Chains A and B, each alone.
Chain A
């Protein structure tokens, strides 16, 4: 036993362990994405009373894998006037950033690749970088529609990042920490401890602020990930497909996987910040006696279920809400969400200082 622990402490063993964890998380996300993509299409089809993909495998379950093979086996077409390096770099950046953000997401008790103190800021930093993949792709294509799409996307993502930032600050104020694992750990013991209800019964009046903040976050997440009703960068009826027009084959696949990984990441962030992450919605004294691995699996199950629930909501929004006009989108972001979340930050801060907790962290 001693020899093995020593091996994992050496640089070689440590690197191996880190790479193994990263690979495990990535493979899990990619596999989940394959079925979430299908779920997205199936839900959309269901709302419109269609069947959706149902040919490949039982109930079409293998559709995503068939699509994957199709994308990978086709030829990569690079337009003549394109900036080749940037053109290829753009989807790679989208893909890498979308998965890089998962490094700090606590999947279960003790299950996180990197448990850092500034986890929330890291997520914010990585998601603010995501815009580069799109903007570079649009510019490098050397074509009108991609360029228009990428300009729309840049303005949209920068705008909604501001309100997302403020909403996150309200949660940080309540939690008193930016470590995601700690934020989740503090929400244990029942759904009334979740930050959407203010975190604990003594903070219950904060639910009046935090429930709207969760809604603001959800809507901003839609805009941030270019999902309908805010999919103006793609807007297939006006811009054909926006920044993706010139992309084919594997680069397009990377863009698409990156986009969906970002969507699921946003679902995971809502779950972690507002809905208790891997905590069960009821007190769980009975798992105290379980082995640590079983406890982790129990937590992971809750985390996964909540994340999938929010993905379902996002898929439903795609099916039932018509697309926003661009000026209305900007109005919503700057004139409604920004002031609302700013006031919320002030109110939550005031509650922390003058409320019953009296500034205790």
Chain B
């Protein structure tokens, strides 16, 4: 248990520290790198809870795909650090208000959880289904009790995907595209023709 406590505090400190660094470092690329570290240590916290499936999924989805795209976009941006600093004072009151409301809400929720929720006292963990790993348990719950919500979430993602495609897809006229089938199906007869060209006239194509 002592080892688990050490691991928890280490991961928690790294999570919070890198989370702070995300918003405080100057270079946006460093910000994203710290964000990745935050995700990664959060996955470690999941592992400590025994939720190995969620931990791995967090790494695969957020670190492996989402954060790569973040990094991709941020690296391509030409960020002017001076301009970034300029708006700081102007947006400070509004940002402070939002941050204050968020903090108050989080404190209310945290106290509610501490007094009446899961953290109010030692509880028996929910009995795992006999002989099943937590991957199988999640699968059973997801595809029985919550199948409609699960499918609906999938549809939301589908709509978002179609939206992104509709917004960015444009057909430029006159662009010659590679048609692999045409290239493969080309023979000496179809790829060549012999013409008689009179001097000074050209082919007139």
Contact in complex: A128, B33 (CB < 8 Å): no
Interface string of A165-193 (1 = CB under 8 A from B): 10000000000001000000000000000
Q: Is the CB of B52 within 8 A of A129?
A: no
User: For A86, what are the chain B residues with a Cβ–Cβ distance below 8 Å?
Assistant: 29-30, 33
- A contact residues around B64 at 8 Å (CB): 124-125, 128-129, 131, 158, 161
Given known contacts A124-B60, A129-B59, A327 and B178 CB-to-CB distance under 8 angstroms: yes
Closest B residue, CB atoms, query A139 = B75
List of B residues within 8 angstroms of A154 by Cβ: 68, 71-72
Of the listed residues B30, B64, B68, B69, the one surrounded by the most CB atoms of chain A closer than 10 A to its CB is B64
CB-CB under 8 A from A136, the residues of chain B are 33
Given A121-B57, A124-B60, residue A135 in contact with residue B52 (CB < 8 A): no
Are A128 and B56 neighbours in the complex by a CB distance under 8 Å? no
CA distance A117 to B136 in the complex (A): 11
Q: How far is the CB of A265 from chain B (nearest CB, A)?
A: 16
Complex interface: chain A residues within 8 A of B2 (CB): 11
Asked whether B181 is an interface residue with its Cβ less than 8 Å from the other chain, the reply is no
Chain B contact surface mostly: helix
Contact B65 A125, beta carbon cutoff 8 Å: no
Q: Given A128-B59, A129-B63, A139-B29, does the pair A118, B135 have CB atoms closer than 8 Å?
A: yes
Q: Which of B57, B59, B133 contacts A117 (CB 8 A)?
A: B133
Contact A11 B3 (CB under 8 A): yes
Decide yes or no: A121 and B65 within 8 Å by CB, A11-B3, A132-B36 being known contacts.
no
Instruction: Check A116 for interface membership: any CB of B closer than 8 A.
Output: yes
A71 at the B interface (CB under 8 A) = no
Fill in one digit per residue for B81-94: 1 if any A CB lies within 8 Å of its CB, else 0: 00000000000000
Residues in A neighbouring B178, C-beta threshold 8 A: 327-328
**What are the residues of chain A within 8 A of B75 when measuring CB–CB?**
135, 139, 147, 151
Interface range for A: 20 to 34
Q: In the complex the two chains form, what is the Cα distance from A86 to B53 in whole Å? A: 30
A230-279 interface (Cβ within 8 A of B): none
A65 close to B (CB within 8 Å):
no
What CA separation (Å) do A86 and B178 show in the bound complex?
A: 39
How far does the Cβ of A75 sit from chain B's closest Cβ, in whole Å?
A: 27
Nearest-neighbor residue (CB-CB) of A127 within chain B: B64
Chain B interfacial residues counted at CB < 8 A: 25
1/0 per residue A92-136: CB within 8 Å of B?
A: 000000000000000000000000111001101100110110011
Q: Which of chain B's residues have a CB closer than 8 A to the CB of A122?
A: 56
The answer to whether A118 and B33 touch across the interface, beta carbons within 8 angstroms, is no
Shortest Cβ distance from B36 into A: residue: A132
Tally the A-B contacts, defined by beta carbons under 8 Å: 68
Q: Are A118 and B72 in contact (CB under 8 A)?
A: no
> What is the CA–CA distance of A127 and B3 in the complex, to the nearest angstrom?
28
**Chain A residues whose C-beta falls within 8 Å of the C-beta of B30 in the assembled complex:** 86
Chain B residues near A128 (CB, 8 Å)?
Answer: 59-60, 63-65
Does A121 lie within 8 Å of B53, measured CB to CB? yes
Asked if B59 and A125 sit within 8 Å, CB to CB, the answer is yes
Give Cα A327–Cα B180 distance, bound, in whole angstroms.
Answer: 12
> Interface digits, B65-77 against A, CB 8 Å rule (1 contact, 0 not)?
1001101100100
Shortest Cβ distance from B134 into chain A, in angstroms? 8
* B52 engages A117 (CB within 8 Å): yes
CA–CA, A124 to B59, complex, Å?
A: 9
What CA separation (Å) do A147 and B33 show in the bound complex? 17
Cα A86 to Cα B29 with chains together (Å): 10
In the complex, which residues of chain B have a beta carbon less than 8 angstroms from the beta carbon of A118? 52-53, 56, 133, 135
Interfacial chain A residues near B29, Cβ < 8 Å = 83, 86, 139
User: What residue of chain B has the Cβ atom nearest to residue A117's Cβ?
Assistant: B133
Collect the chain A residues with CB atoms within 8 Å of residue B52's CB: 116-118
CB-based contact A121/B72 at 8 Å: no
Closest to B43 in A: A125
Q: Are the C-beta atoms of B68 and A131 separated by less than 8 Å?
A: yes
A118-B53, A131-B68, A136-B33 as given contacts; A125 in contact with B60, CB under 8 Å: yes
9 contacts between A and B (CB under 8 A): A11-B2, A86-B29, A118-B133, A121-B56, A121-B57, A125-B56, A125-B59, A136-B33, A161-B64
- Kindly list the 9 A-B residue pairs having the minimum CB-CB distance in the complex, ordered from nearest: A128-B64, A121-B56, A125-B59, A117-B133, A125-B60, A118-B52, A125-B56, A118-B56, A139-B75
* Extra contacts besides A139-B29, A178-B133 (5): CB < 8 Å: A83-B27, A86-B29, A116-B52, A121-B57, A154-B72
